[in-house]
Amino acid sequence: MADLSSSIQKGDWKKEKHTPVIEAPEGVKAGELFDVTVSIGKEIAHPNTTEHHISWLSLYFLPEGGKFTHQVGHFELSAHGESTKGPNVGPVHTHHRVGIQVKISTPGTLQALAFCNIHGLWESKKEIGLI
C-alpha cells in the first residue's frame, strides 16, 4: 500500500498551474513579523469553478535541523460559484491566494500544500534564512 507522501506532486509553478507559489523574503530578522503569501496559478491560471477548483491551502514551517514541521495555517477555500440555480452561477467565488504574517526564531523551510479537487495534492518549499 502506498503512503501519503507518494501521492504529493511537485512541479515548477512557472510551468504547472497546480504548484503552490510561496512569496516571502529570503532572509528575515529573528522574532520580527514578515509577510508570506501562498497562491496557485501565478504564472498559469488555475480554474476556479464548481467542477475544478483549489479546495484548501496549508502552510508549514520546518526549522533547520528539525525533524518535525509546525503548521502555520490551514485555509479552506469554500466558494466556487455553486448555487441552488446550478454550478458556477453562485454569487461568490474565493480566489486561491492567502496571506499571513509570520515570525521565526531560527532559519528553516516554509512548505505549502494545496489540494485540487481533481488533481490532488501539490507541494512547494521556500528556504528562509536569518539576517
**Per-residue pLDDT at 28:** 98
Does 52 qualify as catalytic in the annotation?
Answer: yes
Query: Looking up cell 528553516, which residue turns up?
Result: 108
Full-model pTM: 0.94
Does 16 qualify as catalytic in the annotation?
Answer: yes
Q: Which of 54, 32, 52 is nearest to 113 (CA)?
A: 54
Does 43 qualify as catalytic in the annotation?
Answer: no
Do the Cβ atoms of 116 and 18 come closer than 8 Å?
A: yes
Q: What percent of the chain has pLDDT over 70?
A: 100
Catalytic entry in 14, 29, 52, 74: 52
How many structural domains are present in the chain?
Answer: 1
Does 96 qualify as catalytic in the annotation?
Answer: no
Does 74 qualify as catalytic in the annotation?
Answer: no
Q: How confident is the model at residue 73 (pLDDT cuts 50, 70, 90)?
A: very high
Q: What amino acid occupies position 116? A: C
Does 51 qualify as catalytic in the annotation?
Answer: no
Spatial separation of the C-alpha atoms in residues 122 and 112, rounded to whole Å: 8
**Per-residue pLDDT at 1:** 75
- Domain hosting residue 98, numbered range: 4-130
Q: How confident is the model at residue 50 (pLDDT cuts 50, 70, 90)?
A: very high
The enclosing domain of 82 has a CATH number of 2.60.40.730
Q: Which of 84, 80, 9 is nearest to 47 (CA)?
A: 80
